[in-house]
Chains A and B, each alone.
Chain A
Amino acid sequence: MTANYETHEHDVLIIGAGGAGLRAAIEALANGARVGLVCKSLLGKAHTVMAEGGIAAAMGNVDKSDDWRAHFSDTMRGGKFLNNWRMAQLHAQEAPERVRELEQWGALFDRTESGDILQRAFGGHSFKRLCHVGDRTGLEMIRTLQDRGVQQGIDVYMECTVTRLLKDGDRMAGAFAYWRETGRFVVFRAKAIVIATGGIGKAYRITSNSWEYTADGMALAYEAGADLLDMEFVQFHPTGMVWPPGVQGLLVTEAVRGEGGILRNKKGERFMEKHDPKRMELSTRDVVARAIYTEVREGRGTPHGGAYLDISHKPAEYVKKKLPSMYHQFKELADVDITTGPMEVGPTCHYMMGGIRVDAETAQSTVAGLYAAGEAAAGLHGANRLGGNSLSDLLVFGKRAGKAAADYAQGAPSGTLDSGQIETAEREMLAPFEHTGEYPYEIHRDLQETMQSLVGIFRDDADLRKALDSLEQLKPRLERVKIDGSRMFNPGWHLTRDLRSMLLISEAVTRSALARRESRGAHSRIDYAKLDEEWGKKNNLISNQGGTMNLRQEPVREMPEDLQKLLAETK
């Protein structure tokens, strides 16, 4: 059986080729490591490409008084102080340099009058801080990183999916994967592994995420023994498309509001006045998402169950210049001209604040040699992420993870591959071809329905318990999941594996949500509607205890005095 796969050897294996994975690969290579980069799709198609609004970095090009202290304090406030303060500090301090670096690698940002990188306003940021390229900042970023990485000579394994991490005792030894095209298996030997696989959007029915976002990296890390942190915090972006049905959930960039877009209910009321009179539409995402949801639930929604978002008071040419892809998206997919009338928008599952617990300086997980960066990692954003802080997160912690992984690999011996682990990985992949249960698509639909209706924007004890029951009932169905056809490029087969990750991590989300009896940031409990100071001092941690999911709390690390003082001053 063991002759059924090819092997490749690297010092550092990076899983995921979005912004974090690419930045990690570039850095690991620059530090002398032999780097392999594995991605589920073609290079350049990862979700980073969809990022629209911009990269948050306190460069002070537009608002001169902006600096890292203000960015740090906005990030902590947005995250309701559950953030890893050290990550928030490093992120705010290093983001401007990471943006300049992109520019030096050929990225072309929009400019100010004086020729510097232009910055725009965004929710929760107290200054104009988002470096951007119209509304396609992510495309500019991924293309720049991709070209830099390719030019530097990274080995890229495209359309290749990792299904198991391989360990030698407590150490990382490599990873087991399959090629999407042929269905054949491949084993990577590596001393250090960086997980940069993004989030879990596809566990929800209404999401801005693509098929790739099935929590693979979080599940791989959990199974390898790493801690998962604050999994209850799932971000619902306030503005997804709601009509027509085929595009439900598709992202409408926050830049629409950053450029002056106004939210109204069907009665024409500017309802953000009730929810956040000071910041209005540019409040944080958790607040705006709840506001829209509440308007709809209380009968003041639009015909298709959303709110109106209007930018048509701005000159048409300005809208087309600053929001070109939104203009086309609505025109082509919804027959709406956003320069003359409002869009209909509603919340969509967008981002995972929780994830793999990492050390702030090195991005190392609680397993030696296993690193995580980007959305797959947790800590920076606390209970709610500010728009624009994701792209900067990818760069800052992608670089740190790449450096630390390369350093670690230099000193570590190669692990021994265990044929037993490989055989298990092969068996579990091939099992669906032998089974006689149901197809994966039905199980996926039921999982999405459960998460969407019971573990969504508003939660309560009864719903969360019901969700745990439903997830429990999906497990035996998934054990018997079947698939037809061959191993050649077979999406149904791939989904059988993705579902395992989604189901596992959905359970982690639900258990954490049930435990946190308060409302904080993106986690809103109807039965515990207020912030609870005691819970503000605790992180939820999920770990694998001999095959059983264990949940525990640990105290949030206390902030040093100088940062506490800084927060008090910037109130």
Chain B
Amino acid sequence: MSTAENDAAMFDEATLRVFRGGPEGGEPVDYRVPIAPGMVVLDALHSIQAQQAPDLAVRWNCKAGKCGSCSAEVNGRPRLTCKTRMDTLPLGEPITVRPLKSFPLIKDLVTDVSWNYQVNKKIPAFQAKPGGAWKMDQRDVDRVQEFRKCIECFLCQNVCHVLRDHAKHQTFGGPRFFVRIAGLEMHPLDSLSRSKLLKDDMGLGYCNITKCCTEVCPEEIHITDNAIIPLKERVVDEFYDPVMMLVRKIRGA
């Protein structure tokens, strides 16, 4: 970071090479943007909107890393543009800003993420154990609160090769929804099992734990280690455990 910081001090302008266009095609367009201390990429995009391209399509809301709206690929890396400081980028060359690759393009940096909302609908909601006293230990809650930190930026969905390279959107839920299901499955008072859903509808088996999702998570959720692997273990226990298979066979279940 120190070289990049030195870089930033040397530059009072940067070039942003922003993808402009829609589903039928487009091209990167260069914009010169003045640099201010502490500036983030989203600031630079807003400056382009205000000064040069009023119709530049960008999603954003909180500008504080809490809503997960402003995801894009900056110099090839999926990031929240509101948390990407300009002074961490090599400003001597153009900074490329492109839309997320794993979702259909709408315009410029905005993609159609509605598929995620469709997947979410398939997940059975929290269902409390009957007669619950609503007492929970903080230690049990801690584990689930990690998953509840997810801001739905969909960066994990964007980098997951099952979606990005193999486009298994129809049969695979993606890391975001494994995190969501883990949050429900490990809720101290939840009474449902979602293992069958994970196995049959969410394609959990496609995940070969390359941890790309964990790497890009801005909330630093240990997606692979704490959500996906324990879920895989649950599916194995429930469906592939030889002893239980035998029991089920005997009981005729």
Q: A: which residues have CB within 8 A of B?
A: 41-47, 49-50, 100, 103-106, 108-111, 114-116, 118, 133-134, 136, 139-140, 143, 147-148, 150-151, 158, 181, 210-212, 243-247, 250-251, 325, 328-329, 332-334, 439-441, 445, 483-486, 488-493
B121, A150: Cβ atoms under 8 Å? Answer: yes
In the bound complex, residues from chain B placing their C-beta under 8 Å from that of A493 are: 55
Is residue B197 within 8 Å, beta carbon to beta carbon, of the partner chain?
no
Given contacts A147-B125, A147-B126, A325-B66, could you give 4 more A-B pairs where the C-beta distance is less than 8 Å?
Answer: A147-B120, A158-B117, A243-B38, A489-B106
A492, B49: Cβ atoms under 8 Å? Answer: yes
Contact of B141 among A46, A111, A114, A440 (CB under 8 A): A111
Is residue B74 within 8 Å, beta carbon to beta carbon, of the partner chain?
no
A440, B54: Cβ atoms under 8 Å? Answer: yes
With CB as the reference atom, state the residue of chain B lying closest to A440. B54
- How many Å lie between the Cα of A115 and that of B37 in the bound state? 45
With CB as the reference atom, state the residue of chain B lying closest to A490. B55
With CB as the reference atom, state the residue of chain A lying closest to B43. A246
In the bound complex, residues from chain A placing their C-beta under 8 Å from that of B68 are: 45
Contact of B69 among A41, A118, A250 (CB under 8 A): A41
- How many Å lie between the Cα of A250 and that of B42 in the bound state? 14
Per-residue CB proximity of B50-64 to A under 8 Å, as 1/0? 110011111111111
Indicate whether A111 sits within 8 Å of B137 (C-beta atoms), given known contacts A147-B125, A491-B55.
yes
Per-residue CB proximity of B169-198 to A under 8 Å, as 1/0? 000000000000000100100100000000
Number of cross-chain contacts by CB at 8 Å: 163
In the bound complex, residues from chain B placing their C-beta under 8 Å from that of A484 are: 54-55
Size class of the contact patch on chain B: 35 or more
A42, B120: Cβ atoms under 8 Å? Answer: no
B61, A332: Cβ atoms under 8 Å? Answer: no
Specify which of A181, A484, A491 lies most central, judged by the most chain B CB atoms within 10 Å of its CB. Answer: A491
With CB as the reference atom, state the residue of chain B lying closest to A44. B152
Is residue B227 within 8 Å, beta carbon to beta carbon, of the partner chain?
no
A210, B60: Cβ atoms under 8 Å? Answer: yes
Contact of A106 among B64, B108, B187 (CB under 8 A): B187
Contact of A333 among B40, B49, B125 (CB under 8 A): B40
Shortest distance between the CB of A478 and any CB in chain B (Å):
15
With CB as the reference atom, state the residue of chain B lying closest to A118. B138
With CB as the reference atom, state the residue of chain B lying closest to A40. B61
B134, A50: Cβ atoms under 8 Å? Answer: no
In the bound complex, residues from chain A placing their C-beta under 8 Å from that of B22 are: 488
Indicate whether A41 sits within 8 Å of B54 (C-beta atoms), given known contacts A110-B141, A136-B66, A325-B66.
no
Is residue B67 within 8 Å, beta carbon to beta carbon, of the partner chain?
yes
In the bound complex, residues from chain A placing their C-beta under 8 Å from that of B120 are: 147, 150
Contact of A332 among B51, B83, B128 (CB under 8 A): B83
Q: B: which residues have CB within 8 A of A?
A: 22, 36-40, 43, 49-51, 54-69, 83, 85, 106-108, 110, 112-114, 117, 120-121, 124-126, 128, 134-138, 141, 144-145, 148-149, 151-152, 184, 187, 190
- How many Å lie between the Cα of A290 and that of B227 in the bound state? 46
Specify which of B22, B43, B67, B141 lies most central, judged by the most chain A CB atoms within 10 Å of its CB. Answer: B67
Specify which of B22, B55, B60 lies most central, judged by the most chain A CB atoms within 10 Å of its CB. Answer: B55
In the bound complex, residues from chain B placing their C-beta under 8 Å from that of A333 are: 38, 40, 83, 85
B37, A244: Cβ atoms under 8 Å? Answer: yes
B61, A41: Cβ atoms under 8 Å? Answer: yes
- How many Å lie between the Cα of A483 and that of B56 in the bound state? 12
In the bound complex, residues from chain A placing their C-beta under 8 Å from that of B148 are: 108, 133, 139-140, 143
Shortest distance between the CB of A115 and any CB in chain B (Å):
3
With CB as the reference atom, state the residue of chain B lying closest to A209. B62
A43, B55: Cβ atoms under 8 Å? Answer: no
Shortest distance between the CB of A154 and any CB in chain B (Å):
11
Contact of A134 among B61, B108, B144, B145 (CB under 8 A): B145
In the bound complex, residues from chain B placing their C-beta under 8 Å from that of A115 are: 135-137
B61, A210: Cβ atoms under 8 Å? Answer: yes
In the bound complex, residues from chain A placing their C-beta under 8 Å from that of B40 are: 246-247, 333
- How many Å lie between the Cα of A16 and that of B57 in the bound state? 21
With CB as the reference atom, state the residue of chain B lying closest to A51. B66
- How many Å lie between the Cα of A210 and that of B82 in the bound state? 12
- How many Å lie between the Cα of A386 and that of B124 in the bound state? 36
In the bound complex, residues from chain B placing their C-beta under 8 Å from that of A485 are: 54-55
In the bound complex, residues from chain B placing their C-beta under 8 Å from that of A134 are: 145
With CB as the reference atom, state the residue of chain A lying closest to B37. A244
In the bound complex, residues from chain B placing their C-beta under 8 Å from that of A106 are: 125-126, 184, 187, 190
In the bound complex, residues from chain B placing their C-beta under 8 Å from that of A491 are: 49, 54-58
A439, B54: Cβ atoms under 8 Å? Answer: yes
With CB as the reference atom, state the residue of chain A lying closest to B154. A42
With CB as the reference atom, state the residue of chain B lying closest to A156. B117
Indicate whether A441 sits within 8 Å of B106 (C-beta atoms), given known contacts A108-B144, A246-B43.
no
Shortest distance between the CB of B104 and any CB in chain A (Å):
11
Shortest distance between the CB of A22 and any CB in chain B (Å):
14
Shortest distance between the CB of B44 and any CB in chain A (Å):
9
B85, A111: Cβ atoms under 8 Å? Answer: no
B66, A50: Cβ atoms under 8 Å? Answer: yes
A49, B126: Cβ atoms under 8 Å? Answer: no
- How many Å lie between the Cα of A103 and that of B135 in the bound state? 11
A50, B67: Cβ atoms under 8 Å? Answer: yes
B61, A108: Cβ atoms under 8 Å? Answer: no
Indicate whether A43 sits within 8 Å of B117 (C-beta atoms), given known contacts A50-B67, A134-B145, A328-B65.
yes
